[in-house]
Amino acid sequence: MKKSNVLVCVSGGIAVYKAVALVSKLSQAGMNVKVIMTASAQQFVTPLSFQVMSKNDVFYDTFDEKNSAVIAHIDLADWADLIIVAPATANIIAKMAYGMADDMLTTTLLATTAPVWVAPAMNVHMYEHPAVLRNIAQLAEDGIQFIEPSEGFLACGYVGKGRLEEPEKITALVVNHFMKSAESEANA
């Protein structure tokens, strides 16, 4: 199987620490991983943590062009074989549903033709809010695939659905996705 390119887009919630583990697990599984972080994600974990786990530069500023030969958000959008938004906060889900492009993460998402998977993580009441459910439904209609949050103890002290799915499970889904893609290409 060829080395697949996975772009992990990290928005700002306490589950960002699990995204570091996700990047590590994806890299260990043989994926080439790059990371985009929102400003709020950087309040929880530094870009250096993701750089160490991915062995790649981390992107967080639309106007910080690391390679002057390309436009970073377009280059990342084209580079990715799969994009995973994890954790996906209520805010980033709303931005995606309305097609907003006001930071590195959202501009890249609008520019990609790669499959996009969203792994929500938020308070149980936020996850069940009609506006969030409406935005999720819109994104599903747009072809976005969701990795459902798990149930359990949440950082806010509540118990319910809203925990970011475990990095090992997300990694298994990604590996399975690329194995099926490779089988389809071999049978074509």
- Domain coordinates in residue numbering, the chain: 5-187
- Counting as low any pLDDT under 70, the low residues of the chain are 1
Catalytic residues: 156
CA gyration radius for the chain?
16
Q: Which tens digit of pLDDT belongs to each residue from 63-81? A: 888 888 898 999 999 999 9
Burial state string for 85-119 with b = 16 or more CB within 10 A and e = fewer than 16: bbbbbbbbbbbbbeeebebbbbbbbebbebebbbb
Q: CA quadruple 178, 151, 92, 131: dihedral positive or negative?
A: positive
Domain 5-187 class, CATH top level:
alpha beta
| pLDDT given at position 181 | 85
Q: Which tens digit of pLDDT belongs to each residue from 20-51? A: 999 999 999 999 999 999 999 999 999 999 99
Length of the chain: 188
Tally of CB atoms within 10 A around 79: 16
| pLDDT given at position 184 | 79
**CA pair distance 36, 24, nearest whole angstrom:** 15
> Taking a C-beta distance cutoff of 8 angstroms, is the pair 76, 7 a contact?
yes
